Structure 1
Amino acid sequence: MINSVCGIRSTGRICTDLAQALEAQGHTVKIAYGREQVPEQYQKYAVRIGTDLDVWIAGAEARLLDNAGFSNRKATEKFIEWVKEYDPDVIHLHNLHGYYINVEVLFKYLKTCDKKIIWTLHDCWAFTGHSAYCDAINCTRWESGCDNYSQKGYYPKSYVDQSKRNWRRKKDLFNNVPDMTIVTPSHWLEGLVKESFLKDYPVDVIHNGIDTTKFYPLKNDFREFYHLEDKYILLGVATSWDKMKGLEDFVKLSDLLDNSYKIVLVGLTDKQIKKLPKKILGIKRTNSVKELAYIYSAADLFLNLTYSDTYPTVNLESVKCGTSVLTYDTGGSTETVEEFGGYVVPQGDLKGVVEKIKEVKKESPEKQENDMRPTNIDKIDYHTAVKNYLKVYGVDSHHTESVPNAKPPILSGGVRRS
C-alpha cells in the first residue's frame, strides 16, 4: 500500500486496519508512507519514502510552483527500486498527495509493472488541477479542465495558479494504467469519478469501516473531569481543524447557544486552543482509540460541520459509541446518516443546526437510539471492507497461506525498512 501516513489519521488507520486483517489471513503486507511518525505496533508494515527534508522541500516547491505531486523524484526512484525487489502481487494506492511522492515516476512504473493496481480515492485530488476539496465550493471545472483556481489558500497551498497544467499532466499520467480499479468510499465520490477523466476505469464503492471491538459505549469520568456534569455536550472530532472542517462554524455556533450547552472539539493544536471562546473546550489530537471512545461515549450529540468529506469514519465511531450524528449535507457524510441514522442540515445553515440540536435534546434517549438503526451497526466493521477489498484484489477471503515475497532490502538515502 502507498499512503501519505501509516497508522495515524483516518487514511493511515484504514491502511493498517486492512493490513492487519490481510496479515491474519496469511498475506504479506507493507505500507509505504511519506511523513509523520508511525505508532510502534505498525512499524512492521512501514517503509518510508524519502525524509522529512524531502517533504519540506516538496511543500515549499508546491507553494512557489503549484506542483504538488511532482517533486521528490530521487526518493521515488529509490522507492520504485525497492518495490521491484519486494515484488508485490497487488499495489494499493491511497493518498498520493502530501509532498512525499512523485506521481510521474510512480505512474510510469505502474503502467509497465504488470501488477494488479487498486487506487482508493479519499478525496478529489486525483482528478482536479489542484484541490482535494473542490466540492467545498461546488467547483466542477475539473470535468473538462481546470483554470482560474480559487482555492490557492487551501491545501495544497500555492501562491500561483498552475491548475490547468496540472490537470493535463494528471490526465495523461493517470489514464491507461493496465488492470487498475478505482475504489471510492462513497457513492457520492463514485459519481464524481464517473464525470472525470478517470471515468474509463471500473469503480467499486467500498465504505470505510472501523474496528468495532474498540469503539463501543464506555462509562467514564470525562464529564466529571472537565466539570461538565450539567452540560449538554456537542462533540466535534477531526485529525486537523480549519475552516473547511467547520472550525469557524463551531465558533459561530457557540455564540448561538446558551450556557446549558458545551462544545468539545478534539484534534486541535495548542495555538487553536488558545484562540477558542470560553464556550468551547479544546482538546489536542490523540492517537489513542480508547480515549476517543471515552469522549464519544460522554457526548450527547456528535456534530460534523464539514464542507468536504467522502465517508467520514468519525461519524461511524460516534454511532458505534452510542452517540447520534448531526451532519451538514456534505459529500458522502450524508450516506452514513442514510445508512445508520442521524440528522442532516443544509451546509452552512447554523440556525438550522441550532434548531435541530434543541429538537434532539428534547427527544427521549429511546427515540435517539431507534434513530441510529442499531440493526445496521455490523456494516460499520472494517472486516466488511476487508472482505470487499479481497474481492477487488482477486483473493479468496478464506486463503490462509502466506504469499511468498522477496525480503525488503535496507535502502539508504530515502527509503528505510522498519
Structure 2
Amino acid sequence: MKTLLQINPVLRVSTSTGRIMQEIGELALQNGWRSYIAYGKGRDGIKTCKSETIPVGSLCSTLWHGVETRLFDRHGLASTHATREFVKEIDRIHPDIIHIHNIHGYFLNYRVLFDYLSRSGIPVVWTVHDCWLYTGHCYYYSYAGCDKWQTGCGGCPQQRDFPASFIVDRSRRNFEDKKAAFTSMPKNKLVIVPVSEWIRSEMSKSFLGGYNFRVIHNGINTDVFKICNENDVIEKYGLKGKHILLGVASIWSREKGFDDFVQLSRMLNDDETIVLVGIKNEERKKLPNNIIGISRTENVNQLAELYSVADAFINPTWQDNYPTVNLEAISCGTPVITYRTGGSVEAVTDSTGYVVEQGNVRGLLDAARAVRQRGKDNYRASCRQYALQHFKKEERYADYFSLYDELMKT
C-alpha cells in the first residue's frame, strides 16, 4: 500500500491550504493509499479529518517560535525539538511521497527537516502558495516593489510585516540559510509545484531556479460554486434595484485592495453599490454608506449566491499568486475585473472578465460598467463553461497523483 504524507501548519478546511490538503488526502484514501497529515498542533485543533494526523510541536513550542520570530527574525528556525520528533515519525511511517504545502507557520525548523529529507531518498512535492521559501523574510514582495530576493536580501523593507520581526533584521542570513537547506535536496527527488505561471516565472530567477517545476493551478468545488438563485441574498442585504460590485477576502488589507474599494465608492452612481465579504468590525467603521460590509456569509451556498447576484467581481489585489476568489466568481457566472497583479490575471480571459493596470481605480469602474452595458447574460454561460473546463478540483488533484506516480518510478 502506497503512503502519502502531507505537511502544512493548519488543518482547518476554512483555510485554502487546509482544505486542499484534506481533499487530496481523501482522494488518496479513495485510491487505496494510506494518508497522513502533519500540522502545527499549537495553531490548529482537530475537528474532522479522514486522514491520519501527526500533530507537530505544542502550544509552548509554537509560542516560543513566535518569540524568536518577533525578536530575532528567526521564522522557521525554532521548534528544533518538535521537528526532530516529527522526523522520527516520518521514519516510522516511511511514506512513498512527501507533499509539502507550507512550512512557515511557527511549527517547523526547516534546517532540521531538510537535513533529513535530503538524505532520506523520499521524493518530495512542494506546492508553492506564496513566495516565502525563496526570500529572506517576506511572503510577498510585489507591493513593496522589492527584488532583493534575486541577489541575497538584507535591509528588508518589510521587516515588520508578516512574519514580523520588531528588533532584528536577519533577512540576509535567512536567505543564505534557506538557500543552503532547500538546495540540499537532490534535483531528482524534488519537484516544485507553483500554483501560477507568474510564481513559476519568479522562482526561475531565484536560487531554486535549477529545480524541476510543474505548474498545477488550484481547483474549486464547481458543484458548490455554481450559478444560483439570488433572491434570498438580494432581500437579506437590501440589494434590490442595485448594480452590485462584489469583493471577497479572508483578510482585508491595503495589499488586498481595501483602500481601492473606498476610493472606488466615491465614484459610484446612486444605483451602484459595493458589497465586501470578510469585513471585520473595526473595518466596518471605515466604510462609506454605499459599501455594504459582511463579516462572513452564513454558509458557502450563500457566498455562491452573492457571487451569482453580482454584476461584476472586483479584485484590486496588489500582490497575489492565484486567488481562489476569482475562480469561485467565474464558476458562479460572474466576470472578474482585476489589477494586472501576479497570478490574479491567469483565470481572466476576454470571455471571463477584464484586466486593468494596478492602481487604476477608474479603470475598474469603467470595466464594471462595460459589463453592465453589454449585459451580465452575455458572460454567465461562458464563465461557467470556462470554470468547468479549468477549475474542477477533482481534475487538479488528479494532476498531483499523476506527478506522485511519475516520481515513484524514478
Query: How far apart, in 2, do the equivalents of 1:113 and 1:45 lie?
Result: 22
Equivalent positions of 1:15-414 (< 5 A) are 15-34=21-40, 36-37=43-44, 40-42=47-49, 44-159=51-166, 160-178=168-186, 179-220=189-230, 221-285=232-296, 288-338=299-349, 341-369=352-380, 372=383, 374-375=385-386, 377-394=388-405
Shift of 1:376: 5.6
Deviations 1:4-63 (A, max 9, x none): 212222222221222222222122212212264457342644432223343333223212
Q: How far apart are 1:285 and its partner, in Å?
A: 4.0
1:294-333 Cα offsets, whole Å, 9 max, x none, are 2222222111111111111111111111111111111011
**Kindly tell me: are residues 56 and 281 of structure 1, through their superposed partners in 2, closer, same or farther at Cα, counting changes over 3 Å?**
farther
Compute the displacement of 1:286 (Å): 5.6
Q: 1:38 to 1:286 in 2, by over 3 A?
A: farther
Alpha carbons 1:8, 1:287 under 8 Å: kept: no
**1:409 is matched with which residue?**
none
Aligned length: 397
1:61 and 1:164, CA in 2 relative to 1: closer, same or farther beyond 3 A?
same
TM value normalised by structure 2: 0.90
1:101, distance to aligned residue in structure 2 (A): 1.5
Task: Render the CA deviation track for 1:60-94: whole Å, top value 9, x for unaligned.
Answer: 32121111111122222222222222221111011
8 A contact 1:340–1:373 mirrored in 2: no
CA distance in 2, matches of 1:346, 1:116: 40
- The residue type paired with residue 171 of structure 2 is S
Name the residue aligned to 1:13.
Answer: 19
Q: C-alpha displacement at 1:185, in angstroms?
A: 0.9
Q: Does the Cα contact within 8 Å between 2:114 and 2:184 map onto a contact in 1? A: no
Q: CA deviation at 1:107?
A: 0.9
What CA distance in whole angstroms lies between the structure 1 residues aligned with 2:66 and 2:289? Answer: 35
For the residues of structure 2 that align with 1:275 and 1:58, how far apart are their CA atoms?
34
CA-CA distance at 1:197 after TM superposition? 0.2
Q: After alignment, is 36-45 or 333-342 more displaced?
A: 36-45
Aligned-CA RMSD value: 2.2
- Is the 1:8–1:38 Cα contact (8 Å) retained in structure 2? no
Whether the 8 Å contact between 2:247 and 2:315 is mirrored in structure 1 is yes
* Higher mean displacement: 12-21 or 105-114: 12-21
Unmatched runs of 5 consecutive residues or more in structure 1? 397-418
The C-alpha deviation readout for 1:81-134, integer Å capped at 9, x for no partner, is: 222222211110111112221111111111112211011111111111111111
Query: What is the SS of the residue equivalent to 2:139?
Result: coil
Percent identity of the aligned residues?
39
Structure 1 residues 176-185 or 25-34, which shifts more? 25-34
Q: Structure 2: which 5+ runs fail to align?
A: 1-5
Name the CA distance, whole Å, in 2 between partners of 1:250 and 1:333.
17
